[in-house]
Amino acid sequence: MDITNRSDIIGWLGDRVDAVGFAPIDRFEEAPEAHHPSTLLKGARTVIVLARAIPRGIFYSPEHSLYFLHRSYHTTYNELDSLALDLVRRIEAGGELAVPIPAYAPLEVEETGTWGLLSLKHAAMLGGLGAIGKGGLVLNEKFGSRLRFGAVVTTAELEPSLIVEELPCPPGCAACIESCPINAFEGGTFNKVMCGPTSIGHAIYPLAFATDRSLENRELVFNTAGYNYWVKCIECQRVCPLNRG
C-alpha cells in the first residue's frame, strides 16, 4: 500500500500507535542546524511523530518498577523503529522521500552532550502530542510522561496538528521536582547532565570509559555495546499524578 496523505497514514497506523502528530518544517526554526529535519533529509516538509505508551502499572509495582520499565522502554523503541521504517517504505511507494528517526540510538556525542539525531521531545511538542513539563519530559493530557516517541521525516506536505499550549499539570504540583534525589531541578530547570548518570547505567560503561582515550570512543559504545541501557531512577515519573491516572 502506498501512502500519500495524512488520513492514509492515520488509517494505516491504526492502533499500532497511541498517538500521532504532524509537525511542519517551519516549526523547527529553533532546532540546531546539525539536528534540523532539513539536515536529516533534503527537502523535508513534515515530521510525523509516532508515540507508544508504556504501561501505567509499572508505577504501581512495589519492587519491580525498574525491571518493567527497562524492558518496556527497549521493546517500545524496537516497535517504534520498526513502524517508522515500514511507514517510510509506504510513503516512498507513494512517490515522496522519507527517513526513519531512531526512537533511541544511534546517538551523536558532541561537546555539549549526547543527542538524538532529531530531538524527539521537541518534535513531539511541535507535533501537538504534549507540552514540555517542569520535569523536562513531554506531558500528554491522557498519558502523562508515559509516551515514547519515534518519527519519520518526509518531503510530503501533510496537514499539521495543533500545538498544545497548556501544561496538563494540576495547579501547584511540583511532585517531580521535590522527589529528585540529586536535586536535578535546582534553579527551576531540568539538568539533563546531572540526571543522566543517576538515571541511566550500563555494565559496560565503567570499563569502556575508564581512560581519556576510551572516552573518545563513547559514541561507538553508546550505539553498540551500550544500547540496552539500564534504568536506575524513575522517581520523578513515579510520583507524577498524570502517570498514575
**Sites of contact with ligand SF4 (CB under 6 A):** 133-135, 139, 169-170, 173-176, 179-180, 182, 184, 195, 198-199, 233-236, 239-242
DSSP H or E run through 47: strand 46-53
Q: What is the DSSP letter of 140?
A: B
Nearest distance in Å: CB 177, ligand SF4: 7
198 versus 228: smaller Cβ distance to ligand SF4: 198
CB of 34 to ligand SF4, least distance (A): 25
User: At its nearest, how many Å lie between ligand SF4 and the CB of residue 28?
Assistant: 24
Task: Give the nearer residue to ligand SF4 in terms of CB position, either 80 or 234.
Answer: 234
Q: Which is nearer to ligand SF4, 83 or 240 (CB)?
A: 240
DSSP states along 99-121: EEEPSS-SEEEETTEEEESS-HH
Q: How many CB atoms lie within 10 A of CB 230?
A: 15
Query: What DSSP element (H or E) covers 150?
Result: strand 147-154
| Contact (CB, 8 A) for 135 and 177 | yes
Tell me the residue type at 133.
Answer: G
Give the nearer residue to ligand SF4 in terms of CB position, either 39 or 198.
Answer: 198
- Identity of the residue, 98 or 239, whose beta carbon is nearer to ligand SF4 in the bound complex: 239
Check if the beta carbon of residue 151 is closer than 8 Å to that of residue 48.
Answer: yes
Name the phi and psi angles at 13, rounded to 5: -70, -40
Q: What is the 3-state secondary structure (H, E, C) of 157-179?
A: CCCCCCCCCCCCCCCCCCHHHHH
* CB of residue 219 to ligand SF4, shortest distance in Å: 22
**Which residue, 28 or 73, has its beta carbon nearer to ligand SF4?**
73
Give the shortest CB-101-to-ligand SF4 separation in angstroms.
23
Environment class of 92 (CB within 10 Å of its CB; exposed 0-12, middle 13-18, buried 19+): middle
Q: In the structure, how many helices (H) and strands (E) does the chain have? A: 11, 10
Closest contact distance (angstroms) between CB of 132 and ligand SF4 is 10
CB of 238 to ligand SF4, least distance (A): 8
Return the amino acid letter for 230: W
71-to-52, 74, 75, 78, 245 alpha-carbon distances in Å: 14, 5, 6, 11, 21
Output 103 or 180, the one with its CB closest to ligand SF4.
180
